[in-house]
Amino acid sequence: MSRLTVAQALVRFLAVQETERDGARERLVAGCYGIFGHGNVAGIGQALHQYRDLLPYHPARNEQAMVHIAAGYARQRNRLGTFACTTSVGPGATNMVTGAALATINRLPVLLLPSDTFATRTPHPVLQMLEVAHDATVSVNDCFRPVSRFYERVERPEQLIPAALEAMRVLTDPAETGAVTLALPEDVQAESFEVPDEFLEPRTWTIYRQPAAPEALARAAELIRGARRPLIVAGGGVIYSDALAALRALVDATGIPVCETQAGRGALVSEHPLSLGAVGATGTSAANRLAREADLVIGVGTRWSDFTTASKSAFQDPGVRFVNVNVTAFDAGKQSGLPVVGDARVALEQLGAALTGHRVVPAWEERARSETREWAAELARVMTLDGDHAGLPTQAQIIKEINDAAGETGVVVCAAGSAPGDLHKLWVARDPAGKGYHVEYGYSCMGYEIPGGIGVKLAAPEREVYVLVGDGSYLMSPGELVTAVAQRVPIVIVLVDNHGYASIGALSRSVGSSGFGTLYRFSDNGSVPLDPASTDVLPIDLAANAESLGAHVIRTKTIADLRDALAGARGAAGPVVVCIEADRYAGVPGYETWWDVPVAEVSEEDSVRSARAEYERAHASQRQYLG
Ligand SMILES: Cc1ncc(C[n+]2csc(CCOP(=O)(O)OP(=O)(O)O)c2C)c(N)n1
Ligand SMILES: [Mg+2]
């Protein structure tokens, strides 16, 4: 037994938690990010200081962003490691709610330690406290409940023990993981209790690979053998489970083509002749054409977001059925699919064995191969096409440069704006481990890019990390650049300035609203295309902003400048921000797909009425997939 405060016991506990999978071990909680306030400076802050050699502490600039760092790290480590995040009470705590939602939606483990108001209630109301007259147990931290996979408020010291153990169980369970929140009242953090030695001893959380039930597997194999046009949709689960080799073996043996979600991008290297690339609303022509005709769709590790299913219009065969290999029963049950609940790698190996000797009909395989060749030609065209405006580079050209600079081992990090869709389509996935493509598209959260990139680099210091961020997203959390400077995290940030929200501007035009409210200009009536020389453009100097925060900044104009800058940024001692202005109106087209964004049913504007007519036509292709 040792007499420790709750905060001291928690810090010592977190420092000795380990994950283990396939015999490899690593630290579950690599360290703790935080911002101190009155709610955590004396309790958790004291403990982190006392045990700074056991659990490394890093100050962040914004609480939301530090959760993004933890999520970026967790994703790059295939969910085997993460960071803890400590905040004060009130605004510091609720700033983490967005980060929690992002982690939970993307099924990424993050440990959140918001402080809370007094368990004794004596000095209430304290600074930054929400008072709920009819319910004294409510605090702002209740906002974490819907966005956490496990939530507990530790109101007595002894409660820490079951709470901490349950928190670790949920963090390390691939079927349950997401944000885990332990709310810590500021008085309880500082209270001491007799802590049993066993609680403080190293603990290993083994991630066992769950095989699929034999009956489910036999049914899946029967469906696949009977299918004439089967298609695999690979999601993030393939990568987290390290199932790339198993997927490739199955594809090589059976000839079933593969397309990929955002989180699953890179599950099969692009050069594979049966790799169709991105599917759905941001999909390739190859993937979307095969999806339209597939009679059996085998989802592996996907949560079937609307971008993947093109809002349930992607799969049009009248009798299309789904098989869902997923570690989470909730996801395995979607689309009225046959649920094959289990670890992706084991289940793919089991399926491979059950399909021995089976190969898809040659015409379907040939179809996939020829569509893949056709897409390769389109890709080459789009990536080199010049823009329309004043010789400005296009985002597609910028992506090509990043892709080339990244090579086989570099990682691209992105989250919101027009870049995720462009990357999904255009990125040539070269890393056999599938860790070169990191687009957060579960929450598509503006502001994730820089902190997410920090997390990726901390998780994989041996890789070059390229953060692709739009001007709008940059302005949401530029402050985390300071964290990259402080920790000397050498990431390369390509900051694409197109004067506002190009993606939403294009979406707005497509729904008949002429880009309203999406340009950074003094008076935005939104209806006129932007002339970069116009005095209307807001005088924002993003390069100067990044420089002022301590980053090394390279200003570029042409694609050749960008190429030189990316080469020159290698080996830097801290973050490098490469600024480039891009053609706002030179978007990458969509390929035979749709996304359900409802258009006004009645309007006085012709543009809206014609967009509505187009919407109704597309909407008719939406399906329910009832089996
Ligand atoms: C936090 C947050 N707020 C709003 C949105 C909705 N949204 C998606 S993309 C976008 C614009 C992004 O602008 P920018 O980063 O400049 O990229 P661009 O569209 O110009 O490529 C907005 C407002 C979002 N995804 N996240
Ligand atoms: Mg922009």
Amino acid identity for residue 397 in this structure:
Q
Q: In whole angstroms, how far apart are CA 319 and each of 232, 260, 298, 300, 309?
A: 17, 22, 14, 20, 16
* pLDDT at 530 > cutoff 70: no
pLDDT tops 70 at residue 327? yes
Reduce the DSSP state of residue 265 to 3 states and report it. coil
602 CB burial (10 A radius; 0-12, 13-18, 19+): exposed
Average pLDDT for 86-95:
98
Ligand 1 geometric centre to CA of 503 (Å): 7
500 CA: nearest ligand 1 atom: 16
* Residue ID of nearest Cα to ligand 1 atom 17: 417
Sequence-separated (6 or more) residues with CB below 8 Å from residue 381? none
The rounded distance, in Å, linking the Cα atoms of 435 and 467 is 14
Give me ligand 1 centre to Cα 455, in Å: 21
- Give the pLDDT confidence of 115-144 residue by residue, as tens digits: 999 999 999 999 999 999 999 999 999 999
In angstroms, what is the span from residue 589 Cα to ligand 1's centroid? 18
On the question of pLDDT at 90 being above 70, the answer is yes
How far apart (Å, rounded) are the C-alpha atoms in residues 559 and 615? 37
Residue 212: pLDDT above 70?
Answer: yes
φ, ψ at 299 (rounded to 5°): -85, 130
Mean pLDDT rounded to a whole number for the chain: 96
* Per-residue pLDDT at 536 exceeds 80: no
Residue 533: pLDDT over 60: no
Q: Which ligand is nearest to the CA of 473?
A: 1
The pLDDT of residue 520:
86
Q: Mutation test of ligand 1: which of 473, 476, 521 has the most ligand atoms closer than 8 Å to its C-beta?
A: 473
Within its chain, how far is the Cα of 116 from the centroid?
28
Question: 417 pLDDT band (50/70/90 cuts)?
Answer: very high
Q: How confident is the model at residue 391 (pLDDT cuts 50, 70, 90)?
A: confident
Average pLDDT over residues 322-339: 98
Ligand 1 centre and the CA of 474: distance in Å? 10
- What is the CA(98)–ligand 1 centre distance, in A? 15
What pLDDT, on the 0 to 100 scale, is given for residue 386?
83
Q: Residue 528's pLDDT is what?
A: 56
Kindly state the average pLDDT of the residues 460-472.
98
Atom of ligand 1 nearest to the CA of 498: 20
pLDDT band at 277 (very low <50, low <70, confident <90, very high): very high
- Residue 227 pLDDT > 80: yes
Ligand 1 mutation target, pool 106, 446, 542, 588, most atoms within 8 A of CB: 446
Q: Which of 427, 425, 546 is nearest to 494 (CA)?
A: 546
Nearest ligand 1 atom to the CA of 415 is 25
pLDDT at 527 over 70: no
pLDDT at 388 over 90: no
The atom number, within ligand 1, closest to the CA of 419 reads 21
Atom 10, ligand 1: residue with shortest CA distance: 417
Q: In whole angstroms, how far apart are CA 595 and each of 318, 337, 510, 591? A: 20, 22, 11, 12
Nearest alpha-carbon partner for 351 in 406, 296, 399: 296
| Position 385 confidence tier, pLDDT thresholds 50, 70, 90 | confident
Going by pLDDT thresholds of 50, 70 and 90, the confidence category of residue 387 is: confident
pLDDT score, position 82:
99
For a pLDDT cut of 90, what percent of the chain falls above it? 94
Using CB distances shorter than 6 Å, the residues near ligand 1 are 416-419, 444-447, 470-473, 498, 501-504
**Which residue CA neighbors atom 2 of ligand 1 most closely?**
446
Closest ligand to Cα 417: 1
pLDDT band at 532 (very low <50, low <70, confident <90, very high): low
Nearest Cα residue to atom 7 of ligand 1: 417
Tell me, in angstroms, the distance from the centre of ligand 2 to residue 75's CA. Answer: 25
Q: Tell which atom from ligand 1 comes closest to the C-alpha of 473.
A: 15
The arithmetic mean of pLDDT across residues 191-199, rounded, is: 98
Q: Which ligand is nearest to the CA of 449?
A: 1
Question: What's the CA-to-centroid distance between 584 and ligand 2, angstroms?
Answer: 8
**What is the spatial distance between Cα 327 and Cα 339, in angstroms, rounded to a whole number?**
10
Give the residue-averaged pLDDT of 512-528. 76
Burial tier of 200 (Cβ tally within 10 Å: 0-12, 13-18, 19+):
middle
Is cis: bond before 432, omega within 30 of 0?
A: no
The minimum-distance atom of ligand 1 relative to the CA of 469 is 15
Are β-strands 258-260 and 179-185 bridged in parallel, bridged antiparallel, or unpaired?
A: unpaired
pLDDT digits (tens, 9 = 90+) for 140-186: 999 999 999 999 999 999 999 999 999 999 999 999 999 999 999 99
Res 389 pLDDT > 80: no
Q: Which ligand is nearest to the CA of 446?
A: 1
Give tens-digit pLDDT for 15-35. Answer: 999 999 999 999 999 999 999
Q: Cα(417) to centroid of ligand 1, in Å? A: 4
Tokens found for residue 606: 């012709």
Can you give the pTM of this predicted structure?
A: 0.98
**pLDDT tens digit string along 568-582?**
999 999 999 999 999
pLDDT at 225 over 90: yes
Q: 465 C-alpha vs ligand 2 centroid, how far in Å?
A: 21
Residue 522: per-residue pLDDT: 77
- Label residue 515 left, alpha or beta by phi (over 0 means left) and psi (-120 to 50 means alpha): left
CA atoms of 168 and 21, how far apart (whole Å): 15
Mean pLDDT, to the nearest integer, of 51-68?
Answer: 98
Cα 139 from Cα 128, distance rounded (Å):
10
The residue with tokens 């949920």 is 170
Q: Which amino acid is at 208?
A: Y
Report the residue among 423, 448, 503, 538 best suited for mutation to probe ligand 1: largest number of ligand atoms under 8 A from its CB: 503
Q: How confident is the model at residue 507 (pLDDT cuts 50, 70, 90)?
A: very high
Between strands 57-59 and 82-87, the pairing is unpaired
